Amino acid sequence: MSILITPETKIIIQGITGEFGARHARLSLDYGTQVAGGVTPGKGGQTFEHAGKSVPIYNSVKDAVEATGATVSVIFVPPPFAADAILECVDAEVDLAVAITEGIPVRDMVRVKRAMAGSKTRLVGPNCPGLVSPGEGEDSKGGCRIGIAPGYIHKKGHVGVVSRSGTLTYEAVYQLTVKDIGQSTCVGIGGDPVNGTSHLDVIKLFNEDPDTHGIILIGEIGGNAEVEAARWIKENCTKPVAGFIAGATAPPGRRMGHAGAIVGGAEDTAEAKIKVFKECGIEVAVTPSDMADALLRSAKAKGVTLS
């Protein structure tokens, strides 16, 4: 098993006819993901063709969900229209909306998050690489790939990975795969200050998932989401957990690429977060090259088999 998505999950893609959305729609189809439909207002009735597969396009999320039974929507629409696209998912009552879009204004996300309170839809992102639950096939094909992560670096298995950053997630996943340690699900929650699903939300899901035996938690400077997750882990999680925090050398007051990656006070530095990780029993990766090894150390100490 896995969390949030399985190889059987049917997805739709909002913005499938845009260059970015189309490119990743093709890669997801190649991976074997059940891409059931696309949404582009005004292009309903057309189809998206790739490698002998024909994906119907709908005018609205509601139409797409009704026609296909999809439970997940992934959003590739440009920033000025992204908040609207997320709310359309909420209205259509999809289980999971994954916003890949980078550069959505904070005020839009503040309103979206408020509007989503009490709804049945979970949001992952925005400004995130998406999710992957690897499959059984060659290069982990046959899995569910939602977003922009490279599918082939994955391997089906029992480690959960959660991170704000895209390429740093790939780094961790790749380290695991070359050591022949597979993953249950990899979740990129995004680098923005206001996002849907937090580190803690994902950690709770991994903790409940019997098929996830160990967890890699990757964070960065700014905010207190990693600290919140670490404190919960200390009280509630018995699975081995490895952690890494990026940004130890970042100067205070400067945003390091991600809108949320900024040291504002004494509490959100890499040093402060690493200290909390250690206090909470999380095995800290000394360098980004040490993430998989750190998890192996934690697993060994707890007598847990990861593969």
Q: For other proteins, which is the closer residue by CB, 248 or 301?
A: 248
* 289 contributes a contact to other proteins by CB under 8 A: yes
Smallest separation, CB 176 to other proteins (Å): 14
Place of tokens 């997805």: 11
Give the Cα separation of 243 and 226 in Å (integer): 9
User: Measured between alpha carbons, how far is 151 from 140 in angstroms, rounded to an integer?
Assistant: 7
Q: Which residue's CB is nearer to other proteins, number 2 or number 175?
A: 175
Residue from 36, 189, 194, 205 binding other proteins (CB under 8 A): 194
Q: Which of 157, 166, 182, 243 binds other proteins (CB under 8 A)?
A: 166
Residue 168 binds other proteins, judged by CB under 8 A:
yes
CB-wise, 225 or 299, nearer to other proteins?
Answer: 225
**Cα separation, 104 vs 99, whole angstroms:** 10
Q: Residues 150, 281, 302, 304: which binds other proteins (CB under 8 A)?
A: 150
- Where do the DSSP E strands lie in the chain? 10-14, 34-39, 47-50, 53-58, 72-75, 96-99, 122-124, 130-133, 144-147, 156-163, 183-188, 214-220, 241-246, 283-284
Q: Which of 89, 109, 162, 189 binds other proteins (CB under 8 A)?
A: 109
Are the C-beta atoms of residues 215 and 240 closer than 8 Å to each other?
A: yes
DSSP string, 296-307: HHHHHHHT----
Nearest partner of 17 among 57, 72, 52, judged by Cα: 57
- Between 61 and 270, whose beta carbon lies closer to other proteins? 270
Query: Considering the complex, what minimum distance in angstroms separates the CB of residue 287 from other proteins?
Result: 5
Residue 199: active-site member: no
Nearer to other proteins (CB atom), residue 17 or residue 224: 224
- Segment contacting other proteins (CB under 8 A): 28-36, 47-55, 186-194, 207-215? 186-194
* 274 contributes a contact to other proteins by CB under 8 A: no
Q: Is 254 in the site for other proteins (CB under 8 A)?
A: yes
Neighbours of 142 (CB within 10 A): 16
Say whether 89 sits in a helix, a strand or coil.
Answer: helix
Contacts (CB under 8 A) with other proteins, residues 208-237: 218, 220-225, 228
Tell me the helix, strand and coil percentages in the chain, rounded to 5: 35, 20, 40
Asked if 251 interacts with other proteins (CB under 8 A), we say yes
Q: How far apart are CA 236 and CA 54, in angstroms?
A: 46
**Pairwise CA distance, residues 5 & 200, whole Å:** 18
Site for other proteins in 15-54 (CB under 8 A): 27
Which lies closer to other proteins via its Cβ, residue 95 or residue 228? 228
- Give me the active site residues, please: 258
Residues at the site binding other proteins, with contacts judged by CB under 8 A: 27, 79-80, 103-111, 113-115, 148-150, 152-153, 163-171, 174, 191, 193-194, 218, 220-225, 228, 244, 246-251, 253-254, 256-261, 265-266, 270, 286-290
